[in-house]
Amino acid sequence: MSGAEALARLQAEFAAALVAEGDSGFASRLAGERALALRRLAIYRRAVEANRGGALRSAYPVVARLVGEAFFGEAARRFARDCPPDDADLNRYGPGFPAFLAAYPHASELPWLGDVARLEWAWHEALMAADSPGLDFGALARVGEAGQPRVRFRFHAAVRLVRSAWPVLAIWEANQPGRDGTPDREEGADDVLVWREDERVRAALLAPPEADFVARLMEGASLGEAAEDGWDFSAALGRLAAGGMLAGFSAGTPVPS
């Protein structure tokens, strides 16, 4: 084994020891008394847990407020154990947290919690997304009437659609700074469009027909395919364009992702 390979193996074992439950045996590889080695590992382990927990709190502040510090801390620790980061950038840590919460036994009395987390992650992703080129309205205007049903749009990288059986936008809004946590609505399903406009992330509630239309467009459907049953999509399409949510289009063939 080369020196580089030995170092890589040692680093991997050290990383595994920092997230292991109990004593992984790595302490025996360290110099000095075993008790001292264990204390040293514990210092690193607490730092790793704190960094990961802090990253999750930054991405999911509403979830943290809803469940409280102790609950969130334990959920974050268990999530980190089951789903370690696969990216060195902790700003991108936690896309699987909503699914984890939806299946987390201790959150069973909060069936909407996973969907609130999905909305928070959509907001977080929209904030971090790269800029996309604007839609070429001149080129779009030159598409003939016969070709318009075949137009397929590419969305700005920051656009997300969150569909939930729960009033997640009302819950999210109620837990923003300055609010007391009481939702304006406690029932109903929410279809929430999230995007970034003028360097600011925004969210809007969509009616089901508009949400269906946007979802089909985001999946790559053409205008003709997305506007099922002859639904008048002009107003919805205008809002997407005005908000800078459309970044490109093709006429007749799928838009490359």
229's tokens: 């049953």
Same domain flag for 89 and 175: no
Same domain flag for 140 and 237: yes
Which positions ≥6 away from 158 have C-beta within 8 Å?
Answer: 125, 126, 127, 129, 132, 194, 195, 196, 201
Same domain flag for 145 and 253: yes
Supply the range of the domain harboring residue 90: 1-110
Count Cβ atoms within 10 A of the Cβ of residue 24 and give its class: 0-12 exposed, 13-18 middle, 19 or more buried.
Answer: middle
Contact, 233 vs 226, CB < 8 A? yes
Q: Does an H or E element contain 58, and which?
A: helix 34-59
Instruction: Indicate the number of domains in the chain.
Output: 2
* Residues 103-131: tens digit of each pLDDT: 999 999 999 999 999 999 999 999 999 99
Contact, 129 vs 157, CB < 8 A? yes
Same domain flag for 227 and 153: yes
Same domain flag for 105 and 139: no
Q: What is the pLDDT of residue 133?
A: 86
**Among candidate residues 51, 81, 110, the one where a domain is terminated:** 110
Same domain flag for 131 and 155: yes
Q: What is the pLDDT of residue 91?
A: 87
* Residues 2-11: tens digit of each pLDDT: 777 766 665 6
The whole-angstrom distance between residue 225's C-alpha and the CA centroid of its chain comes to: 28
Interstrand relation of 200-206 and 160-164 (parallel, antiparallel or unpaired):
unpaired
Same domain flag for 50 and 126: no
Same domain flag for 94 and 218: no
Residue ranges in the chain modelled with pLDDT below 70 = 6-32, 37-38, 40-48, 252-257
159's tokens: 């656009």
Q: What is the pLDDT of residue 254?
A: 52
Interstrand relation of 160-164 and 151-155 (parallel, antiparallel or unpaired):
unpaired
Q: What is the pLDDT of residue 85?
A: 80
Contact, 100 vs 39, CB < 8 A? no
**Among candidate residues 82, 110, 138, the one where a domain is terminated:** 110
Q: Can you tell me the distance from the alpha carbon of 75 to that of 101, in angstroms, rounded to the nearest whole number?
A: 8
Q: What is the pLDDT of residue 102?
A: 97
Tell me which residue has tokens 């790559």: 220
202 SS3 class: strand
Same domain flag for 147 and 23: no
Same domain flag for 57 and 149: no
In the sheet where 190-197 sits, what is the strand order?
Answer: 160-164, 190-197, 200-206
Q: Can you tell me the distance from the alpha carbon of 79 to that of 120, in angstroms, rounded to the nearest whole number?
A: 17
Please give the full DSSP string across 117-177, using - where no structure is assigned. HHHHHHHHHHHHPPP-PPP-HHHHHTS-GGGGGGEEEEE-TT-EEEEESS-HHHHHHHTST
Contact, 213 vs 122, CB < 8 A? no
**Among candidate residues 46, 78, 110, the one where a domain is terminated:** 110
